Amino acid sequence: MQKQYSHLSRVERGQIMFLKMWSLKVSEIARRLGRDKGTISRELRRNISPYATCYTDESAECWAERRRKAASTRYRLKNERIRSYVEKQLEAGWSPELIAGRIKLDHPGDTISHEAIYLYIYQLEQLARQQYISYLYRSHRRRRKRGTGNGRKSRIPNRISIAERPAAVAVRSDIGHWEGDSLVSSRNTTMLYSLVERRTRMVLLARVRGHDGRRTARAIIRKLDPLPAEVRQTLTLDNGFEHSRHEDVPRTINIKCYFCDPYAAWQRGTNENRNGLIRHHFPKGTDFARLTRAEIKRVELAINSRPMKCLGYRTPLEAAAPFVALRA
């Protein structure tokens, strides 16, 4: 007699989740649900989210629904041009959402949904699937508290509060408003300093040996000085000791510095977001002292060449192009 198959229900997926929590074998789960062992095995293999560490009924239901919805678009990745484009951008660390939005600009007439790209990744063999998942940018970085060091309060002389910063900066209507922050090296001797332009999300990176204010100020000046005056109007900083010589910056280049409130990293949200992407390229444990200028420039270019939904899927380089030809 031919076997009759039916999709697992949400209730059954909930039962599978709880039985798995009790570490029951697949054969025992199948017996209790009155299902074929292969059905349970397939469910556990196919419907675990790439981002999850265990099976959950909610995640499994979501992935099963994705598979059903994307079935009609599955043929699109048989198109060699589209598949090559998707694979290339996945390897560059682009999310499926970015790829789906950007392909319309790079290849007018070609379209693919981000759901179909997720499905494509998930239907690959395990080794290939894990490789592509590893490319995807996910930031779970826990911010260290700023403004303190070794129990001593950081002293920023003559700091100007962000409350005095022009209100227009917050709405990103104009170019030339930057945020600055440091990423600490594993050995705590060399840091990577990042500057982010708020409107275009352009990133500039500089390696700074040590954490003293003088060297940090010099690095900021070195990165911003080549730019036309109209694209370096304000700079928003946190209260870290590395910014203690902030007054050196406006004395050398025409820019006004403002400081966030203590422990208010959200007031530099653009910088925080970009730093998470930088950490995707330079994970925790990276010794910045060993990085070459070429390696830093490569990452800087990769970040500035990555499209963003908030820019209409343009890249920061493309968003900045109408305003200035940036020079590092």
DSSP element (H, E) containing 297: helix 293-304
| Residues 181, 246 within the same domain | yes
Q: What is the mean pLDDT of the chain?
A: 84
- Residues above pLDDT 90, as percent of the chain: 44
Residue 58 lies in a domain: no
Q: Helix or strand or coil: residue 31?
A: helix
Structural domains of the chain, count: 3
| Residues 31, 118 within the same domain | no
CB 206 within 8 A of CB 222: yes
Q: Residue 315's domain is classified under what CATH number?
A: 3.30.420.10
| Residues 77, 210 within the same domain | no
Residue 75 lies in a domain: yes
Task: Give pLDDT, residue 108.
Answer: 92
Q: Which of 107, 135, 163 is the last residue of a domain?
A: 135
| Residues 27, 96 within the same domain | no
CB 135 within 8 A of CB 93: yes
pLDDT in tens, 206-229: 999 888 899 999 999 999 999 988
| Residues 24, 126 within the same domain | no
Please state, in angstroms and rounded to a whole number, the distance separating the CA atoms of residues 304 and 317. 6
67/9: higher pLDDT? 9
| Residues 122, 88 within the same domain | yes
Look up residue 42 and give its two tokens.
């397939």
pLDDT at residue 115 tops 50: yes
| Residues 130, 23 within the same domain | no
Residue 94 CA to its chain's centroid (Å): 9
| Residues 90, 193 within the same domain | no
SS3 for 110-174 is CCCCHHHHHHHHHCCCHHHHHHHHHHCCCCCCCCCCCCEECCEECCCCCCCEHHHCCHHHHHCCC
Residue 3 lies in a domain: no
Residue 259 lies in a domain: yes
Residue 5 lies in a domain: no
Strand partners, 195: 180, 204
pLDDT at residue 15 tops 80: yes
| Residues 214, 287 within the same domain | yes
The total of other beta-carbon atoms located within 10 Å of residue 195's CB is: 21
pLDDT in tens, 134-154: 767 654 344 444 443 443 445
Domain that holds residue 91: 70-135
Angle at 149 between CA 144 and CA 154, to 5 degrees: 105
Which of 105-119, 134-148, 241-255: highest mean pLDDT? 241-255
Task: Give pLDDT, residue 73.
Answer: 52
Residue 149 lies in a domain: no
Residue 125 lies in a domain: yes
Residue 89 lies in a domain: yes
| Residues 312, 245 within the same domain | yes
pLDDT at residue 124 tops 70: yes
pTM for this model (two decimals) = 0.68
pLDDT at residue 76 tops 70: no
Which residues have CB under 8 Å from 280's CB, separation 6+? 93, 137, 139
